């Protein structure tokens, strides 16, 4: 179940925070509740992705994306992701989430998020390729940024590892090949 109460709480918190630059880092604090746990009593990987949704929503609120989407009646979607889990987050453990836009190209805005344990260890890191959609498909990021008040903003340079991920993902067959079961 999607954590609606957490989402409302986080949006209210984000609304009271100062605006954030497009590539600024939003920091939020969270607790791993019992309903976030898997069989091994640690943060479930699916729930981690849902919590990342909350961090992106708060970031979108602070950079002005939510306002732009509502005004233009656009939607927002994820067009790809890659995640790396490295440390467990256990029940009732507090952690910090960091969310930011890294760069953009002609179609997508690339978002980076990470969860950090209190001891300073990075528990997980995820990279998202996101798109804003309208009646005619994907809305170019330049138009989205203009609507957000960032007229003429130029993207920071795409990190080499991110460009490599994009190139590798472009080689992936779509639709996936159907294997025959014997």
pLDDT, one tens digit per residue, over 41-52 is 999 999 999 999
Q: What angle do CA 54, 77, 93 make, to 5 degrees?
A: 20
How big is the chain by its Cα radius of gyration, in Å?
17
- pLDDT above 90 covers what percent of the chain? 85
Question: What pLDDT band is residue 152 in, cutting at 50, 70 and 90?
Answer: confident
Q: What is the pLDDT of residue 10?
A: 87
For 100, residues 6+ apart whose C-beta sits below 8 A from its C-beta are 23, 24, 25, 26, 59, 111, 112, 113
Residue 95 has φ and ψ, to the nearest 5°, of -150, 160
Closest CA to 174 of 80, 57, 75, 37: 80
Question: What pLDDT band is residue 174 in, cutting at 50, 70 and 90?
Answer: confident
Higher pLDDT, 177 or 73: 73
Q: What is the pLDDT of residue 182?
A: 63
Q: What is the pLDDT of residue 1?
A: 66
Average pLDDT, integer, range 105-121: 98
Question: What pLDDT band is residue 105 in, cutting at 50, 70 and 90?
Answer: very high
CA distances from 19 to 14, 61, 103, 141, 157 (A): 9, 8, 18, 19, 23
Average pLDDT, integer, range 85-104: 97
Q: What is the pLDDT of residue 20?
A: 95
- pLDDT above 70 covers what percent of the chain? 98
């Amino acid at each position: 179940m999607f954590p609606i109460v957490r989402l409302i709480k986080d949006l209210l918190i984000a609304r009271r925070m100062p605006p954030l630059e497009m590539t600024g880092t939003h920091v939020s604090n969270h607790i791993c509740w019992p309903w976030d746990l898997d069989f091994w009593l640690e943060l479930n990987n699916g729930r981690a992705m849902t919590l990342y949704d909350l961090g992106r929503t708060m970031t979108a609120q602070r950079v002005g994306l939510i306002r732009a989407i509502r005004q233009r009646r656009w939607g927002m979607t994820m067009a790809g992701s890659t995640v790396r889990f490295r440390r467990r987050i256990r029940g009732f453990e507090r952690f910090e989430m960091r969310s930011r836009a890294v760069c953009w190209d002609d179609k997508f805005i690339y978002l980076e998020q990470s969860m950090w344990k209190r001891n300073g260890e990075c528990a997980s890191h995820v990279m998202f390729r996101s798109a804003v959609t309208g009646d005619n498909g994907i809305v170019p990021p330049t138009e989205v940024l203009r609507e957000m008040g960032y007229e003429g903003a130029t993207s920071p340079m795409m990190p080499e590892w991110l460009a490599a991920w994009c190139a590798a993902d472009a080689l992936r067959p779509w639709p996936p090949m159907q294997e025959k079961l014997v």
